[in-house]
Amino acid sequence: MSDLVFYTNPMSRGRIARWMLEECGASYETRVVAYGPEMKGPAYRAINPMGKVPALEDGGTVITEGAAICCHLAERFPDAGLIPASGARGAFYRWMFFAAGPLEAAVVNRSFGFELPDDPEARGRAGWCSLEEEADILAALLSDGRKWLLGDSFSALDVYLGSQIAWGRQFGTLPERAGFDGYIDRIMSRDAAVKARSLDDALLAQ
């Protein structure tokens, strides 16, 4: 039995965590959690009280939230080279939590038909800006011709934030910007990304 137990559903953000596990070369057990009573039931809520996937059990520790899972795995598997050296992680954490906070909020609010108010003082109370502004921020991050989000080295940031960019363009929830398409092609053609998709697609077919 692996020390890592991965709770997921192939139609969820669990796809991001799966990709991260594959980038790490981790050995893990997959437990698919069905939407509805199983995911919201007491057995699974003992793992994640929100009744959502993904979740990861690592020995006696439970990690939820996609960004946290990616960071945990990057640190747990240092030989995979998916996190900068200690002391040089400022940009890594900055953009990881930009993705988990402002970007996630802007995308979800737009999908629900919510928009920030026009009043500048009221807008200032939100922890995010407009989706268009955030798309501009991401495009600027890629505008210097860098291959990956942190420069020349692929990292867990490309798994987590890169997935959000790719899904945003696939489903039309993120505005198009120069540089996005080429970047998406690069991350999605990685061997671990291809393998992770095939594993989740196989679960969908069952």
DSSP string, 137-158: HHHHHHTT--SBTTBSS--HHH
The domain spanning residue 199 has which CATH number? 3.40.30.10
The domain spanning residue 107 has which CATH number? 1.20.1050.10
Q: Is 206 exposed, middle or buried (0-12, 13-18, 19+ CB in 10 A)?
A: exposed
What's the rounded Cα separation, in Å, for the pair 119 and 47?
41
| 186 shares a domain with 95 | yes
Using 50, 70 and 90 to split pLDDT, how confident is the model at 1?
low
Asked if the model's pLDDT at residue 2 lies above 80, the reply is no
The answer to whether 54 and 103 have CB atoms below 8 angstroms apart is no
CA 121 from chain center: how many Å?
Answer: 31
Tell me the residue range of the domain where 127 lies.
Answer: 90-190
The answer to whether 6 and 31 have CB atoms below 8 angstroms apart is yes
178-201: pLDDT as tens digits: 999 999 999 999 999 999 999 999
Look up residue 140 and give its two tokens.
Answer: 């600027």
| 200 shares a domain with 180 | no
| 117 shares a domain with 45 | no
Look up residue 203 and give its two tokens.
Answer: 């679960």
Of 95, 111, 104, the closest CA to residue 128 belongs to 104
Q: What is the pTM of this model?
A: 0.96
| Identity of residue 38 | E
| 183 shares a domain with 99 | yes
60-104: pLDDT as tens digits: 999 999 999 999 999 999 999 999 999 999 999 999 999 999 999
Q: What is the DSSP letter of 27?
A: -
14-65: pLDDT as tens digits: 999 999 999 999 999 999 999 999 999 999 999 999 999 999 999 999 999 9
Number of domains in the chain: 2
